[in-house]
Amino acid sequence: MNRKLLESQLNEFFDAPRKTHPVYNEFSLQHEMGTFLRRKLVKEAGDMRVDFERPYGFFLKDGARVPQSLVKKEIDLAIYEAGADGRCKKPFAAIELKYPRNKAVPRRLFQVCTDVKFLEQLIDDVGFKYGFAILVADDPTFWSGTTDSSFHNLYRHFRKAEDGSNLILKGTVKRSPGTKDKHDQVSLRGSYAPFKSWCPVQNTRLHDDTSEMYRTMTSIIGNRSRK
Q: What is the pLDDT of residue 24?
A: 85
Query: Which residues of the chain have a pLDDT value below 70?
Result: 18-20, 63-64, 66-67, 146-152, 162-165, 178-179, 208-210, 223-227
Which pLDDT belongs to residue 149?
55
With helix as H, strand as E and coil as C, how does the chain read? CCHHHHHHHHHHHHHCCCCCCCCCCHHHHHHHHHHHHHHHHHHHCCCEEEEEEEEHHHHCCCCCCCCCCCCCCEEEEEEEEECCCCCEEEEEEEEEEECCCCCCHHHHHHHHHHHHHHHHHHHHHHCCCEEEEEEEECCHHHCCCCCCCCCCHHHHHHCCCCCCCCCCEEEEEECCCCCCCCCCEEEEEEEECHHHCCEECCCHHHCCCCCCCEEEEEEEECCEEEC
Q: Which pLDDT does position 224 carry in this prediction?
A: 46
Q: Are 110 and 129 in contact (CB under 8 A)?
A: no
In this prediction, residue 152 carries a pLDDT of 63
Amino acid of residue 147: T
Domain boundaries, the chain: 3-141+195-226
Instruction: Give residue 226's pLDDT.
Output: 43
Interatomic CA distance for residues 191 and 140, integer angstroms? 24
Distance CA 57, CA 192 (A): 27
Give the pTM: 0.91
How confident is the model at residue 225, as a pLDDT? Answer: 43
Looking at residue 85, its pLDDT comes to 82
What pLDDT is recorded for position 210? 58
Write down the pLDDT at residue 164: 67
